[in-house]
Chain A
């Protein structure tokens, strides 16, 4: 696994989305590049590398389900910084924004990475909807029920 494969694999496990959504084979948006760069820079290369290494080790064991890997990545025994970096990665994928915790740890603020990241936020998929101000749905879509949630998660066969 190269770094990007580790990163998208980890992202799929942490977000609960299928890797076909996180990293499509034909990826014309390619927001993953932007996320990897931002996450590595803001997390710090050393911590980012250790997180990806741990994921790669867990993923190489075929006995580990995605659920088990996710639980182990977020285990408190990994250390607060490790877990926080993983949680920030989840936030990044869902919102397209990078979260910052206040010094006293009581509040957060976040900054969108880009227009692309705003539109690519997984939260819109979970809502079975579209970003505010940027809809790819057709005229009159609001009069019909959306597709089942599993299809938005890329898990139509599960």
Chain B
């Protein structure tokens, strides 16, 4: 009964919000009094609607069950993941703060909070130069200059990578060069990594953006943690995966954005630099968040719900983003080399999920999908599933600096496509993998490989 009332109220609120917006759009010159009344009303209504969907990033896990169990804590971490996903994908103001006059999903293509963060290419500049300030724009690659025109401002992010963080993986050894993911249009999936201001400031303040600065620093990195005691947000990283819209992809089902898709010659030998401005849709999303109680960070991963079927289960959807029921391609096999994102067409990858999503995570996905739908009917964000959350079960363990993560393995089919599974030291485990991350100085880099991208200062 309570849920029904909430639903009715929410729908009503959204109709009112919509009405307010329409009024403003029809007559932007309304007098100030009426306008401020409308804003006040909208703010109040949005606050009500946001009762379950908040633009505030959670700072720590809320333990729901005493005494906690492995299962109950997994649930709590999964809730944390969903709350984080909603807060980070909240529509943003121009300065990157959440626009609390809007509800998540209200504008499918609105720039989200995390999309205003700094990308790795903004931080680790050629010649080890100091990055521009947090609020300063970084120019796109020169090869993109020919696109500079009226549409250029639509390109909110520059997607430069293909494959699993290859710039870093080139330095980490053969096992991680696992290959690109090809979409159903025969195009390479693209990736980008972002850091929030807390993480960015730490890198800049300690001059960790170049090799010389890291050498002088000469100690382990220790990014700020989110803390409920001082109400501060600590370091957060986001890695996103995108496919070009068009062809077999219906853009109405994705969170989309205009992006500069850049073929990076530093990534694969033989690749010629090229740049195009295209609409891309979000298919994969990692969040890594360092909190006071979880110094190994909390690793949340989301995917578009139509990405792939699960191994040994019926593939019952008409269309998958990375699977074709009529394909005779080997499942979960990377394309043959050479890998070159400039190739006009590559046979699409045939991907299945190896580790099923748990029933509890599925139920939680259903709950949040309903909340998102209630807030904005047809919300594009209801098309995204939490796959799972990896967290340290014994964060202070002296014998295991990974903190004994649970679950032991976690993979996103768009980001760890070819290393899914449960083989020790081989299959994807966020914490176990990132526990090996170091700076160019060899010192521990606090679970991020980004610092490996620092270049020599000249």
**Could you tell me which A residues sit within 8 Å of B by CB distance?**
24-29, 115, 119, 125, 128, 133-134, 136-140, 147, 151-152, 156
State whether A139 touches B73 (Cβ < 8 A).
no
Q: Contacts A28-B405, A28-B407 known; A134 to B425 CB distance under 8 Å?
A: yes
19 A-B Cβ contacts within 8 A?
A26-B69, A26-B394, A26-B406, A28-B405, A28-B407, A28-B408, A119-B424, A128-B399, A134-B424, A134-B425, A136-B402, A136-B432, A138-B401, A138-B435, A138-B438, A139-B436, A139-B444, A140-B444, A151-B399
Complex CA distance for A115 and B408, rounded to whole angstroms? 13
State whether A26 touches B405 (Cβ < 8 A).
no
State whether B444 touches A138 (Cβ < 8 A).
yes
State how many residues of chain B have any CB contact under 8 Å with chain A: 27
Query: Can you name the residue of chain B whose Cβ is closest to the Cβ of A139?
Result: B438
B395-413 near A? 1/0 per residue, CB < 8 Å? 0001111101111100000
CB distance from B393 to the nearest CB of A (A): 5
The secondary structure that dominates the B interface is: loop
B438-454 near A? 1/0 per residue, CB < 8 Å? 10001110000000000
B12 on interface, CB distance cutoff 8 Å: no
State whether B393 touches A26 (Cβ < 8 A).
yes
New contact pairs (20) apart from A27-B393, A139-B437, CB-CB < 8 Å? A24-B393, A24-B404, A26-B68, A26-B73, A28-B404, A28-B406, A28-B407, A29-B404, A29-B408, A125-B399, A128-B399, A136-B402, A136-B432, A137-B401, A138-B401, A138-B435, A138-B438, A139-B442, A140-B442, A152-B398
State whether B401 touches A136 (Cβ < 8 A).
yes
CB distance from A95 to the nearest CB of B (A): 17
Complex CA distance for A125 and B401, rounded to whole angstroms? 13
Complex CA distance for A29 and B436, rounded to whole angstroms? 21
Contacts of B401 in A (CB 8 A): 136-138
State whether A133 touches B425 (Cβ < 8 A).
yes
Contacts of A136 in B (CB 8 A): 400-402, 432, 435
Contacts of B424 in A (CB 8 A): 115, 119, 134
Query: Can you name the residue of chain A whose Cβ is closest to the Cβ of B437?
Result: A139
Give the interface centre of A134, A138, A140 by most chain B CB atoms within 10 Å.
A138
Contacts of A25 in B (CB 8 A): 67
State whether A147 touches B442 (Cβ < 8 A).
no
B70 on interface, CB distance cutoff 8 Å: yes
Q: Contacts A138-B436, A139-B442 known; A28 to B400 CB distance under 8 Å?
A: no
Give the interface centre of B404, B405, B408 by most chain A CB atoms within 10 Å.
B404
CB distance from A113 to the nearest CB of B (A): 14
Out of B402, B407, B443, name the residue touching A140 (CB < 8 Å): B443
Complex CA distance for A151 and B401, rounded to whole angstroms? 13
Interface residues in B215-251 by Cβ distance below 8 A to A read: none
Complex CA distance for A156 and B399, rounded to whole angstroms? 12
CB distance from A4 to the nearest CB of B (A): 14
Give the interface centre of B68, B70, B399, B406 by most chain A CB atoms within 10 Å.
B399
CB distance from A12 to the nearest CB of B (A): 16
Query: Can you name the residue of chain A whose Cβ is closest to the Cβ of B439?
Result: A139
Query: Can you name the residue of chain A whose Cβ is closest to the Cβ of B425?
Result: A134
Query: Can you name the residue of chain B whose Cβ is closest to the Cβ of A25?
Result: B67
Query: Can you name the residue of chain B whose Cβ is closest to the Cβ of A125?
Result: B399
Complex CA distance for A28 and B438, rounded to whole angstroms? 26
CB distance from B324 to the nearest CB of A (A): 34
Complex CA distance for A76 and B242, rounded to whole angstroms? 68
Query: Can you name the residue of chain A whose Cβ is closest to the Cβ of B402?
Result: A136
State whether B398 touches A151 (Cβ < 8 A).
yes
Contacts of B407 in A (CB 8 A): 28
CB distance from B32 to the nearest CB of A (A): 57
Complex CA distance for A118 and B69, rounded to whole angstroms? 25
The 9 closest A-B pairs by CB, nearest first: A28-B406, A147-B398, A151-B398, A26-B393, A139-B438, A136-B402, A28-B393, A136-B400, A152-B399
Contacts of B437 in A (CB 8 A): 139
CB distance from A90 to the nearest CB of B (A): 19
Query: Can you name the residue of chain A whose Cβ is closest to the Cβ of B438?
Result: A139
Contacts of B67 in A (CB 8 A): 25
